[in-house]
Structure 1
Amino acid sequence: MPTSRRAPRRRTRRAGAPAACAAALLLALTGTGAAPADFPAGPPGGLVAATAAVRSDLGPGTVRRLDAAIAAVMAKARIPGVNVGVWLPGRGEYVKAFGVADLRTGTPMKTDMYSRVGSVTKTFTVTAVLQLVDQGKAGLDDPISKYVDGVPGGEHVTVRQLAAMRSGLYNYTEDRNFLDSLRADPHRSYTPRQILGYAFAHPPNFAPDAKWQYSNTNTVLLGLLVEKVSGQPLAGYLREHVFAPLKLSATSLPSAMPCGSAFPEPHAHGYTTFSPHGGIADATDWNPSWGWAAGAAISDLEDLHAWVPALVGGKLLKPATQAQRLRTGPTGVPGISYGLGIADFDGWIGHNGDLPGYETIAAGLPGGKATLVILINSDADRGGSLSSQVAHAVTEIVTPDHVWSAPAPAPNSESTP
């Protein structure tokens, strides 16, 4: 039965299992490993049976509608577990965990569990770049060759074009050799230069700024820029200049390359179909060092609740820089435009993330009207992006004037090679 007690915040604790460092937005992976051949059927007694409410003060009628809508999506799409947070200033909030965090043990999902957040990491990395721009240490219209050697045509590719996904550089997560390597050994470690090697083996897809195309290569290059200019490892810079100022104590970018840090406890197991053996695989301890600056962050529901208003409101940036960040352009996908490491989903501003075993949405309506965070421990999409299906069901009820598009995969879904 649901309870109404708020879960206490806890310090970040590191477990002993290998860490999977995260992923990127348009990436399409799903992994290898031993796990159930397929998800069990939905309720009763199935995936949605365990439900624990931490807070839900929107009114009993709205809460019942939300509970039913989320449970229906979970049953139809066979989602193991989901954490949902909706914060509506002046109206109330709804924070709940549904389903299971571990299919083997039946451990229920809980709202204080850590999760891999995939391409939401891009919002952190690009914020770091824009901070350095604010300090006069980097320029948005500087060529990336000023900071990183060996980029094909790097003298013509600007920092702005990288952050806006308009560089034309090949996306390494679409390289067949990379995908085969990852599928064969998902525990393998990759350095930023190694993963860029897969991208640079291909000519650019188009001239810089000719059009928009999602590429994880862009954000990896921006991570190297941060390290070059700041003199700090990217993980350390983010910890000191992005996470700490906002007291994001549960958010981290694993610092070791290879990723030797463990996945903090408690965390949900993540389930995927990116397996050479078919069926569903448990990707919890896979090594996502290949995602690095484009997707290697870990966070939780409460930290993302704090991050979204800061991201949308530009709390860590100068107003003029934030204005440039939010100047979005077309992506070719109806209803979705893209700025500098940030997207506009039909009025919802933020980012989504998708990597083997996990899907995330972290977005808000401008002016602090609403914050939406969804964390799912599967990327085995059935009928479109799992996170988008849940977001659509939730926003139809709580923000009918701003409904999240569904159910097609968003352009930042990393789960399709």
Structure 2
Amino acid sequence: MLKQSCLRKILVVGGVILLGSMLLKSATRATSKPHQIIAPPKVVTAKQQVDPKFKNKLVPTLKKDNYSGTAIIYQNSRRVASYNAGYADYLSRSKNQLNTMYEIDSIQKSITGVLVMQQVTQHKLALSDHLSMFYPDVPGSQNITIRQMLNMTSGLVLTGPVGPNMAESDTQIIQSDISRVHYLGVMNGHWDYQAVNFNLLCGILEKITRQSYQQLFTTQIIHKLHLRHTAFAYALPNSADSATGYSGLINTNQASPYAKPSGRNQAIARDELGTGQVYMSAGDLYRVISAILTGKIVSIASLQQLYQGASYSSYTAGFYTHPNVKSANGDGYGFESSIHISPDGKNALILLSNYQEPLFKTRDLANQFDYLLF
């Protein structure tokens, strides 16, 4: 029989002291049972904790509305309630899940605004710069500042939809907009929601950085924040867990909310330059917006500068700003989305739905949770 060498050791596991022996490897092994190692208790991270107060409000409210999509509530940066309902794709019967990606539509403007501010912090741009420095052919550009474009108070009005009716480059999209945009001097300084402002801001970003908007977004947002469920609409991978958008009439019968898939082609996906091109999961969206508000993209001081001077509508750089909450909304192509978040990024409600109605019900649903969070 081969000799065995025993090494006595004290094992401290989960606060319990165990005596055991560690046998050296040999050609033959003893048949006695090995000593049982008591594993430490599983740690439940803060982000997994569920608060019944929020769950009991979230689930009944959305069930009553026949909600199709994903919803998450965060408190003190913890996910305290979530709800998934309906089909991501009715034809294949795949259901909406926590990591399902939805078109966030105009919520993207809040990210574009911070990418603009990033160039300001690098002294490559100033909020007081005029549009004429970059696009002198735009009517009234000598009277329009970067700040006004961020606040939608430029006086620019675009005839028809943004971009051309075929998939083209960002430069071609912007030139198409410039050929159709008008300047209303009486509206300069007055709020008027016009997506063309952000299309042109994306063009300015591309001129300054010498990168496409997609490249800039990818490096400064997706890679920096390690996002795993975010992609551009025109570059969705085949394996992506993305929802199909559906459109319906007011109070559509519960049995037929998926009767009308909303079509979207490459031209439309590209035309929404900086204003509605991105798919995200609810978790990724929270990660981005909370990172913005906590100074991970630009400093808090720079954010304070960016969000000053909101128009009378309280709109600035993609957000509607109020003392206790910031909000952003998006709708289009069969999707509706809303985020309400505290200025410190800790408390938030995110609603991403793949069912669009004419009355934009998701925005009204989001308002019902403000008293709980803010």
The two structures have a TM-score, normalised by structure 2, of 0.75
Q: Is 1:138 the equivalent of 2:125? A: yes
> Structure 1 residues 330 and 160 mapped into 2: Cα distance closer, same or farther (>3 Å)?
closer
1:160 paired residue among 147, 150, 158: 147
> Structure 1 residues 365 and 124 mapped into 2: Cα distance closer, same or farther (>3 Å)?
same
2:342 paired residue among 347, 365, 368: 365
User: May I ask how many residue pairs the two structures share in their alignment?
Assistant: 317
User: 1:223-302 residue pairs with structure 2 within 5 A?
Assistant: 223-253=202-232, 259=234, 261-262=236-237, 265-272=240-247, 281-283=260-262, 285-287=264-266, 288-302=269-283
> Structure 1 residues 263 and 353 mapped into 2: Cα distance closer, same or farther (>3 Å)?
farther
Query: Do the aligned partners of 2:339 and 2:366 also contact (CA within 8 Å) in 1?
Result: no
Aligned identity (percent) is 20
Query: Do the aligned partners of 2:145 and 2:154 also contact (CA within 8 Å) in 1?
Result: yes
Unpaired runs of 5+ residues, structure 2, are: 1-46, 250-257
Amino acid at match of 1:370: N
1:82 paired residue among 64, 69, 90: 69
Structure 1, residues 285-334: CA drift from partner, whole Å, max 9, x if none?
433222121111121111112112122233211333211222253444xx
Q: Is 1:148 the equivalent of 2:135? A: yes
Choose between structure 1 and 2: higher strand proportion: 2
Structure 1, residues 343-372: CA drift from partner, whole Å, max 9, x if none?
226732142111111111233112344122
> Structure 1 residues 144 and 273 mapped into 2: Cα distance closer, same or farther (>3 Å)?
farther
CA distance in 1, matches of 2:289, 2:260: 31
CA distance in 2, matches of 1:344, 1:133: 21
Query: Taking CA–CA contacts closer than 8 Å with sequence separation of 6 or more, which of the two structures ends up with the larger relative contact order?
Result: 1
Partner of 2:25: none
Task: Give 3-state SS (helix, strand or coil) of 2:156's partner.
Answer: coil
Amino acid at match of 1:313: T
Amino acid at match of 2:361: L
Query: Do the aligned partners of 1:325 and 1:341 also contact (CA within 8 Å) in 2?
Result: no
Q: Is 1:64 the equivalent of 2:56? A: yes
Structure 1, residues 17-46: CA drift from partner, whole Å, max 9, x if none?
xxxxxxxxxxxxxxxxxxxxxxxxxxxxxx
**Over aligned residue pairs, what C-alpha RMSD do you find?**
2.9
CA distance in 1, matches of 2:228, 2:135: 31
Q: Is 1:206 the equivalent of 2:192? A: no
CA distance in 2, matches of 1:340, 1:260: 25
Partner of 1:189: 167
Q: Is 1:343 the equivalent of 2:320? A: yes
Query: Do the aligned partners of 2:116 and 2:201 also contact (CA within 8 Å) in 1?
Result: yes
Partner of 1:9: none
Using the TM superposition, give the Cα deviation of residue 212 of structure 1 relative to its aligned residue in structure 2, in angstroms: 0.9
Partner of 2:85: 98
Structure 1, residues 174-209: CA drift from partner, whole Å, max 9, x if none?
x2xx49x86xxxxx4254444653564353133574
Amino acid at match of 2:281: D
Flag the structure with larger Rg.
Answer: 2
Unpaired runs of 5+ residues, structure 1, are: 1-53, 183-187, 403-417
CA distance in 2, matches of 1:265, 1:91: 26
Partner of 2:308: 327
Partner of 2:101: 114
Using the TM superposition, give the Cα deviation of residue 66 of structure 1 relative to its aligned residue in structure 2, in angstroms: 2.3
The two structures have a TM-score, normalised by structure 1, of 0.68
The more displaced of 280-289 and 114-123 is: 280-289
Task: Give 3-state SS (helix, strand or coil) of 2:351's partner.
Answer: strand
CA distance in 2, matches of 1:264, 1:326: 38
